[in-house]
Amino acid sequence: MPLTGLLEKLHLNNGQGRENSTAPDNRSLLERFPQDILYTIFLACLPTNLASKKLLMESPLNFSLVCRSWRSVVLLYPSLWADFELHVCNSEEFDAGWVLKRLKRCLKLSKDALLTASLDVSNGVTQRMDRVVQCLLEEEHRWERIHITVLDNSIPWPIPSIQCQSSLRLLQLRGTARGEPGNDLSICIDGTESSNLRCVKAIGRFAFVASGDLPNLQHIEYIPVNLQGGGRFLSFLRSASSIVQLDMSLNIMPTSDPQTMVVLSRLEKLNLDCKGFRVDQASFFFNNISFPSLSTLKLRSCQISGNISTWIAIGEAYRRSNPPLQNAQFQAVAGSSTTSSWSDECVREFANLLRTMKQLTHLDVHGGLVTDTLLERLSLRDGMRAAICPELESLALGCPWLPFLSESPVIGLIKSRWEMKVQSFKLCLRCKMTQPHIGHVLEDDEILKCVNQGLELLVA
């Protein structure tokens, strides 16, 4: 038996709490190895990057129980104990004392190593969670990556304030709040000049307040449960002078505040969910902010994507700043089951926007924008009228029902157009297996047709 297989077998037997007849003999065999050989074996079993991967055989807490010799080797690596997950579930067998004991042991054995911790608290669990969170707060000075999920409305949010120590790089929060909608949970992040916080992700009812600057914060993802608190978020955004990526989903009145506009103008990646936006808000947003460094744009919209003024505003903003955009994704949710959800005028204006994106290499369009009008524009070759995206390397099209795409005569023209320049050009069709509103079921011959055309077909 290979040595690593032997170790894994011992680990699984021990971790499951069940030992077969050969397990004691295997353990005895392993205990005969000298310490230096065991140490070499242990190093061979470690992942190459301890900062991003856990021990190959899962928890060192379980693995160290294989034998006394192996446990002594495991204890030499505090970083193995500094990467852990705690899942607190709503179950009759849940033992809060055991969770707390396990957490304290990991914290003790991790010594001064930087912590990567994930705390997941499901609904209905309130017993002694304050003590678990308090243990984490006591080690805040060595946080590196922290993920906290609290989905229980009956318990208060455990971390009202977080101070950005120099070790903290990633902060991810997910939760809900007690009280009426709009009762946001305030998270105060105390920034300092030495702060190395790089990424903040928040899903839930949060209102961020920054005390001081966050000079190294580059990525913010903010997806609130309720659509309020935009003003406070903008105040927090101003503290991130080095931000390059923003994923935002909130009903926020765009502002003409110069400091905010300067921060937004530095963005290289923008993922904007326009749910709740009014048409005039979207137009204001793009008319007043330039993105000269933008390389990736993802826009998801419902109401505004069917409005001509939206695409005119985006087009004017693009021409004004002329960013080096290479990756674009437009998801325009269709308003009905028909293929012409948006007017031809609107789709033509969208095509005019694509025509200005000369450096675009990756394009993803799905929803109501994918119509005959758009497909005709995409099929035109270089040198002909209204040629779009001459440098494209991959194109993904999504449509509510399959026959519209798979039976369209221009699909082959679209694929052949870019293959003349890019040998590895990739065309992907995103379709759905069934559509109840039209009763269509994907047939085998339709799949075969797409395969014969050399298309990649993703069936959801």
Give residue-wise pLDDT tens across range 210-269. Answer: 777 788 889 998 877 655 556 677 778 888 888 999 988 756 655 667 778 888 888 999
156 occurs within a structural domain = no
**Is the predicted pLDDT of residue 345 greater than 70, yes or no?**
yes
Q: What confidence score (pLDDT) does residue 5 get?
A: 58
Does pLDDT of 330 surpass 80?
Answer: yes
pLDDT of residue 367 exceeding 90, the answer is: no
Q: Tens digit of pLDDT for each residue in 112-161?
A: 889 988 887 766 565 556 777 778 888 888 999 888 887 665 555 666 66
Separation in Å, CA 261 to CA 221, 270, 285: 18, 14, 10
Q: At residue 178, does pLDDT exceed 60?
A: no
pLDDT over 90 at 295, yes or no = yes
Alpha-carbon distance 113 to 107, whole Å? 9
Mean pLDDT of 320-342: 70
In a domain, 294, yes or no: yes
Whichever domain contains 331, its CATH number is 3.80.10
Which of 38-52, 66-80, 291-305 comes out lowest in average pLDDT?
Answer: 38-52
Residue with tokens 């035109």: 380
Average pLDDT over residues 300-318: 74
Kindly report which listed range (39-48, 82-91, 176-185, 417-426) carries the lowest average pLDDT score: 176-185
Q: Indicate whether 211 belongs to any domain.
A: no
312 has pLDDT over 60: yes
pLDDT tens readout for residues 254-266: 566 777 888 888 8
Judged on CB neighbours under 10 Å (0-12, 13-18, 19+), 224 is buried
Q: Compute the average pLDDT of residues 343-369.
A: 85
- The predicted pLDDT at position 433 comes to 41
Specify if 349 maps to a domain.
Answer: yes
Q: How far apart are CA 176 and CA 339, in angstroms?
A: 38
H or E segment and range at residue 416:
helix 411-419
Per-residue confidence (pLDDT) for residue 54, from 0 to 100: 46
Look at strands 296-301 and 327-332 and give their pairing: parallel
Across all residues in the chain, what is the average pLDDT?
71
Share of residues in the chain with pLDDT > 90 (%):
5
Last residue of a domain, one of 73, 102, 131: 73
- pLDDT confidence of residue 335: 45
Share of the chain above pLDDT 70, in %: 59
In this predicted model, what pLDDT tens digit does every residue of 432-458 receive, in sequence order? 544 433 333 444 444 444 444 444 544
Q: Which residue has the higher pLDDT, 2 or 31?
A: 31
The answer as to whether 220 is a domain residue is: no
Among the candidates 73, 106, 136, a domain finishes at 73
Residue with tokens 């030992």: 19
The phi and psi torsions of 433 (rounded to 5 degrees) equal: -65, -45
pLDDT over 60 at 33, yes or no: yes
Between 92-106, 181-195, 288-302, 322-336, the lowest mean confidence (pLDDT) is in 181-195
Query: Residue 22 pLDDT more than 50?
Result: no
Whether residue 117 is contained in a domain is answered as: no
Q: Across 51-55, 156-160, 192-196, 435-439, which has the greatest mean pLDDT? A: 192-196
Residue-wise over 265-289: b if at least 16 C-beta within 10 A, else e?
ebbbbbbbbbeebebeebbbbbbeb
pLDDT band at 424 (very low <50, low <70, confident <90, very high): confident
Per-residue pLDDT, 85: 79
Task: Kindly tell me if the per-residue pLDDT of 308 is higher than 90.
Answer: no
The number of folded domains in the chain is 2
Is there a domain that residue 118 lies in?
Answer: no
Kindly state the greatest CA–CA separation across the chain. 79
Question: Which of 73, 104, 132 is the last residue before a domain boundary?
Answer: 73
> In the prediction, which pLDDT does 304 show?
60
Query: What per-residue confidence (pLDDT) applies to 218?
Result: 92
- For residues 136-167, one letter each, b for 16 or more C-beta atoms within 10 angstroms of the residue's C-beta and e for the rest, the string is beebbebbbbbbbbbbbeebebbbeebbbbeb
More confident residue, 374 or 430: 374
Q: State the Cα–Cα distance between residues 368 and 334, nearest whole angstrom.
A: 4
Strands 170-175 and 143-150: parallel
pLDDT score at 255? 63
What letter represents residue 208's amino acid? F
- For residue 60, the model assigns a pLDDT of 60
Task: Give every strand in the sheet of 206-211, ordered side by side.
Answer: 161-163, 185-190, 206-211
Q: Read off the pTM.
A: 0.76
Tell whether 127 is covered by a domain: no
Report the pLDDT value the prediction gives residue 328, as an integer from 0 to 100: 92
Domain assignment of residue 38, given as a range: 1-59+66-73
